[in-house]
Amino acid sequence: MIIWAGSIKSISIRHAIIQIAGRPYDCVCNFKGPESQNSSCSYPDNSSGIIVLYLKFYIAVTINEGLLLKIQARVIIPVKALMKILNCIVIISCIILSFEKALYSEIIPPALESALPNEQSDVVLFVQEGASEQISTGSSEDDDVDSIQEDGPDRIADPLESVNRAVFHFNDKLYFWLLKPVARGYAAILPEDVRISVRNFFSNVSTPVRLVNNLLQLKIKGAGNELLRFGVNSTMGMLGLYDVAKNEMGISMNDEDFGQTLGVWGLGPGIFINWPIIGPSSLRDSAGYAGDYFLDPVNYLNPIIDRMAVKAGDGINRTSLSLGDYEGIKKDAIDPYNAVKDIYYQYRQGKIDR
């Protein structure tokens, strides 16, 4: 209605306004077009109020027309362009996934491929076969296994233990005194489904981080999955609020970062570093975090206060979905600091070795 009202002639606007206002109006108009001057109108005594109403309406129409043009230029046109880009991404992803099987068969011979376990049901069979072979080899390998179990898992070097323990104590108090109460209040306000949708949205936004690192690790299938997930979740998943790619198509996230990329190409973890607020890390993963910083679109939000607010909101939302995990580790550990350090190191090594 706003666009129509802004495009009609002024004399028609006068008629409409006066009729809508319900004011007495006695007008005889002989209007023969925009170039004609043969129009005569007689107004009652309260015509000044009608003229003021007309001026207000005309100003509102003019302002709304400009607002609509701005909305079209800043919202509608970019959304149409984004939809075209997403359609291209889906097409490219389908092409990559279609050629991935052929590339995989060329790199790995069929005989070797049949001997390798897949990521789901074949893992159990592979482990069972390995266990039966180990039992049949005799007691010598059993002794080796016992010695490995006595040595325990590999541990990361920690020359800065005194500083790291102080930071660990700071982060521990920050969690129990600030982050946990805020996350609990946040969880009490928003239901879990909404908080999961928020997490899905931020995971979808950070797709460039996973996509680039899959490519750097030469994981072509993982990169294709990330492209396809981004296209599907950004369209059918309402900008990533719903993980349609995983729930409906069975395409899981290939979580890779630059720290893992450095580890895949042979760089060791270096030393253990416990950063304030961020938490446990290593020298390699700290460099990886700096590399991923430039791939995360959230880091390009301006001004910086908005960027920090968005990151804080994402952190609170993720904490609300994992309340109790840290408490369980701390409760069952004799030394919570060493427990967190070992769990972090084994977790990162597992992601690199998979």
Q: What is the pLDDT of residues 7-21, one digit of tens each?
A: 444 444 445 444 444
Tell whether 138 is covered by a domain.
no
Tell whether 38 is covered by a domain.
yes
Going by DSSP bridges, is the β-strand pair 272-275/279-282 parallel, antiparallel, or unpaired? Answer: antiparallel
What's the pTM value of the predicted model, to 2 decimals? 0.59
Task: Say whether both 167 and 276 belong to one domain.
Answer: yes
Task: Say whether both 59 and 208 belong to one domain.
Answer: no
Count of domains forming the chain: 2
Tell whether 54 is covered by a domain.
yes
* Boundary-marking domain end, from 64, 82, 106: 64
Task: Say whether both 160 and 299 belong to one domain.
Answer: yes
Task: Say whether both 172 and 273 belong to one domain.
Answer: yes
Tell whether 285 is covered by a domain.
yes
Task: Say whether both 181 and 52 belong to one domain.
Answer: no
Around Cβ 141, how many Cβ atoms within 10 Å?
A: 13
- DSSP-derived letter for residue 282 is E
Task: Say whether both 178 and 316 belong to one domain.
Answer: yes
Tell whether 246 is covered by a domain.
yes
* Boundary-marking domain end, from 23, 41, 64: 64
Query: What is the rounded CA–CA span in Å between residue 337 and residue 335?
Result: 6
The string of DSSP letters for 129-165 reads HHHHHHHHT-HHHHHHHHHHHHH-S---B-TTHHHHH
* Boundary-marking domain end, from 45, 64, 83: 64
**Residues 6 or more apart whose Cβ sits within 8 Å of residue 228:** 89, 90, 93, 94, 97, 245, 251
Task: Say whether both 312 and 184 belong to one domain.
Answer: yes
Task: Say whether both 25 and 163 belong to one domain.
Answer: no
Task: Say whether both 195 and 333 belong to one domain.
Answer: yes
Q: Where are the beta strands (DSSP E) in the chain?
A: 272-275, 279-282
Amino acid letter, residue 133: E
Tell whether 344 is covered by a domain.
yes
Task: Say whether both 180 and 60 belong to one domain.
Answer: no
Tell whether 80 is covered by a domain.
no
Tell whether 99 is covered by a domain.
no
Residues of the chain with pLDDT under 70: 1-153
Tokens of 244: 């349609």
Nearest alpha-carbon partner for 227 in 77, 98, 48, 326:
98
Domain ranges, residue 172: 156-353
